[in-house]
Chains A and B, each alone.
Chain A
Amino acid sequence: MKNNRREFIKNLGLTGIGLSIGIDGFSKNVALKKLTAATLALEINPFIIIENTGKITLVNSRPDMGQGSTQAVPSLLAEELEVSLDQVSIIQSDGRSKYGSQQSGGSSSVRGLWMPLRQAGAAAKEMLIKAAAEKWGVNAADCYAEAGKIFLKGSQKSVTYGEVADLASTYQVPKNPKLKDPKDFKIIGKYNKRLDVPDRVSGKAIYGIDAEIPGMVYAKVVHSPRIHDSIASIDDATARKVVGVLDVIKIERAMPHTKVDAVAVIAQNQWAALKGAKALTVNWKSESGKYLNQNTSEYFEAAYTAAKKPGIRAEEKGDFDAHFESAGTKLEAIYETPFLAHAAIESENATVHVKDDGSVEVWAPIQGPDGALSQVAQYLGVPEEKVKINVTLLGGSFGRKAYMDFLNEACDISRKIKKPVKVLWTKEDDIAQGPYRPAMLSRMQGVIENGRAKAFHHQAIGESIAGQVFNGLRPNTADDWLSGELSQENHQYNFEVNKVSYSRVKTSIPVVWWRSVYASNFGWGQECFIDEMAHEAKKDPLEFRLGLLKNAPRFTKVLNLLAEKADYKTPLPAGKAKGIAVFRSFDSISAACVFVSKTDNGIKIDKVVSVIDCGMFVNPDNVKAQTEGNIIMGIQAATKGGITFENNQCVQSNYHDYQVLRNSETPKMEIHIVENYERPGGVGEPGLPPIAPALGNAIFNLTGKRERKLPLGV
């Protein structure tokens, strides 16, 4: 058995490079670029490395947090290169700019890399074919590539990629290599087992928490319970007496938008660090001037106040207010979603070595090595060339590990103690320190005229992620990140009058993206309210939607497939009901039908049928797996308590009071994929937004009571 850890830690030593194809940035005009062995040794690994020993290595540029990028991303290369994934080695990119954007997030990996990586694969294949043709003195048109070899048509002749890689590397990279017709795909769109699964079931897979560096010490960071407080004094006498504790130092937690005090207990092993932290007394000086709506009650009060006033207009077709004023039949309702923690089982952690020579090495479960590279360089004030990022597998993330405050903490500690250090947050830190999905309100207004939905207004109310995290929202501006998701172009309902507005409610509770970001908040308001309008118009909610989506064939197909697979038209017996919802996010359309029943212990979720149209996809089984995960997480978001702050601090602390779904709470799930040749959409998130509203609508159909505030009591 190979030693994964040793392989992981040692630098990648590439020898005998024959051909290597990289991508010069990921600007709109993608340029393929040949990379010579010399430049390789200097700075980068390209996406495709064919050594003349025959070894083929593909680079996965999107960290794998469970979404399957280790398979999906190299599949794009392998399809066009004509190799199978079990013939190649796969390595993770290290953040260098030549790999382009490397952030796993926004369900962007396949849809973002779809063309550039296929082009890289196709270009390499063309060069290899040309080299084989030259070697044999035949026309390239008479040669073809298959399974890592070039063959001469009508003969027994073949040559491996490795054998012609040196010659191929002397050619110009073709600018417009011929891409395969999707109908000819052998890997993309087909069921293939993920090849990293065996390591993930045998304890061999390496996550951030598993990083081991010679001479490494362990740190537990003690954070301010009220997030923003400063240290008045530290009593570390008892902590320092804990066997194994080496030091107690003051550090900072540098979040993207603010820095706060923290204390690190440094120890010889993780247990001693945890024990030392428990023995530590930190007297926190209240920084009440920094608290802004830092109790959830204050935040919601401010949000409900904002709901009484007009928001900032993001888009408007027709004059909504005029229609609403004069309408005969009109509806208005406010929907509420709570703050949520990501609560991945692997808590935040990072291992950092700020070395004596000024260089820095990082081993961490992070969503974006490119962002980490620039962040670490900037934070420590060192040139990027001196920073090396090693991305491990992520033990879950859901948005959290793209916010790299924990990485800065490890940097701060290592530079102060001049040793490699592993920082591991506890679950209590993870739950109680944030950042969280922001809590949001949807103020919905609608007008029904002659049994038809005429006018629709979605006022989104709450904290802006761009505004808080990146200070990137000007006053009196709608956050287009959020309003884009609510736009008519996105939902496609053909209301004659349509308006989207936004009211920002600031808070000092840290926020960030959470699986499906705002769609997880606003799907709830939008899709429950559509049902409210349908009932008001005395229409079946499915027929009502189909009527509004006449010009949206992909939405229509998704809903019709859902109706068929969920046997929608067949009435359910008394005590049972179903509800539906549809939402487009990350370029994919997903709809769900949730079945519920009345039991002696309340309402039970029996089954969820989900349909997704994500355009072309890599692995249907992974699309299903991600959608299963979205259903489970969507049910948690809909039914379990959110994060609350009282006395300016988080009330919840671990899985006992911030509950995620358990095995016994899993309903039967059926996933159906719309197969087409549309441009790829996202897969990791779009299945989530319809779950809560489909459940809310099912509960209304069961009980007659309209729930508008999450969590629901099931």
Chain B
Amino acid sequence: MPVFNLNINNKVYKITAEADMPLVWAIRDLANLKGTKFGCGMAQCGACTVHLDGQPIRSCQMPLSALSKKAKITTIEGIAEPTLHAVQKAWIEEQVPQCGYCQSGQIMSAVALLKTNKNPNDEEILAAMEGNLCRCGTYQRINQAIKNASKML
């Protein structure tokens, strides 16, 4: 079986897996980082969102074979600086999560947005967050928390 040296959160994990295994399962089951969630398995819900070289991707659609050797992956466990990212602080302040299952993905999308756009307007927030479903319906708080976080950064 192929071996992949995956750089996740600046730590190298030696992963032995089939080349077609989607990244989400390598992260969850082989690197044992459970913060990244599996949702729909077809890039409809965004629960599995992680960063690949800083860009948000749906890890359920990314086979290990498609990752370059230099790929840097960041998961929810890797954004804290040093304890909590400004986006996470804003999420707590706004009391965003209900069940919280989608929130790792929501936060990864929000962190990626604020990295490239320090002060997004409403349309830009919606465009960046449209791929992340929340069945509990926390969207109004998510959008407010992103605005609050942008002021903290």
Interface residues, chain A, with chain B CB atoms under 8 Å away = 5, 64-68, 193-194, 197-207, 209-210, 212, 218, 243-244, 269-272, 274-275, 343-347, 393-398, 424, 426-427, 621, 625-626, 628-633, 654-656, 660-664, 666, 668-669
How far is A700 from B134 in the complex, measured between Cα atoms in Å? 30
The answer to whether A654 and B98 touch (CB under 8 A), given A212-B32, A669-B140, is no
A203, B34: Cβ atoms closer than 8 Å:
yes
Q: Is the CB of A396 within 8 A of B101?
A: yes
14 residue pairs bridging A and B, Cβ less than 8 Å apart = A197-B96, A198-B84, A200-B99, A202-B80, A218-B29, A269-B29, A269-B30, A270-B29, A344-B101, A345-B99, A394-B99, A426-B41, A427-B45, A661-B139
Shortest CB-to-CB span from A308 to chain B, Å, is: 38
A608–chain B nearest beta-carbon distance, Å: 10
**Binary interface encoding of chain B residues 90-115 relative to chain A, with 1 for a CB under 8 A from any of its CBs, else 0:** 01100111111111100100000000
A397–B129 alpha-carbon span in the complex (Å): 23
B21 within 8 A of A: yes
B28 to chain A, nearest CB (A): 8
Beyond A271-B22, A345-B102, A661-B137, whether A654 also contacts B42 by CB under 8 A is yes
Which of B88, B92, B100, B142 is close to A205, meaning CB atoms less than 8 Å apart?
B100
A200 to B29, CA, bound (A): 19
Assembly CA distance A454 to B38 (angstroms): 54
List residues of chain A with CB within 8 A of the CB of B117.
Answer: none
Query: Which of B36, B42, B130 contacts A664 (CB under 8 A)?
Result: B130
B88: which A residues are within 8 A, CB to CB? 198, 201-202
Question: What is the chain B residue whose CB lies nearest that of A631?
Answer: B137
Q: How far is the CA of A667 from the CA of B59 in the complex (A)?
A: 30
Q: Out of B25, B99, B129, which one reaches A344, CB within 8 Å?
A: B99
List, in ascending order, chain B residues with CB within 8 A of A661's CB: 137, 139
Q: Does B133 contact A (CB under 8 A)?
A: yes
Determine if B77 is an interface residue (Cβ-Cβ < 8 Å).
Answer: yes
* Binary interface encoding of chain B residues 126-146 relative to chain A, with 1 for a CB under 8 A from any of its CBs, else 0: 100110111111111111000
What 1/0 flags go to B32-48 for Cβ under 8 Å of A? Answer: 11111111111011010
Q: How many chain-B residues does the 8 Å CB contact rule pick out? A: 58
Q: Does chain A have a CB within 8 A of B75?
A: yes
Query: Dominant SS at the B interface?
Result: loop
Contact A393 B100 (CB under 8 A): yes
| Contact of A662 with B133 in the complex, beta carbons under 8 Å | yes
Whether B53 sits at the interface, judged by CB under 8 Å, is no
Kindly state whether residue B76 has any CB partner on chain A within 8 Å. Answer: yes
Query: Contacts A203-B77, A209-B37, A663-B129 known; A65 to B99 CB distance under 8 Å?
Result: yes
Q: Tell me the nearest residue of chain A to B26, going by C-beta.
A: A271
Nearest CB of chain A from residue B80's CB, rounded to whole Å: 7
Interface flags, B63-90, vs A, CB<8A=1, else 0: 0000000000001110010001000100
Additional A-B contact list (12), CB under 8 Å, known A345-B133, A398-B135, A663-B142: A197-B100, A269-B30, A275-B20, A345-B99, A345-B134, A346-B39, A395-B99, A397-B99, A427-B45, A655-B42, A661-B137, A662-B139
Cβ of B91 and Cβ of A203 under 8 Å apart? Answer: no
Q: Give Cα A179–Cα B20 distance, bound, in whole angstroms.
A: 61
Q: With A200-B97, A272-B18 as known contacts, state yes or no: A655 contacts B77, CB within 8 Å.
A: no
Residues of B within 8 A of A204 (CB): 35
Q: Which residues of B contact A203 (CB under 8 A)?
A: 33-36, 75-77, 104
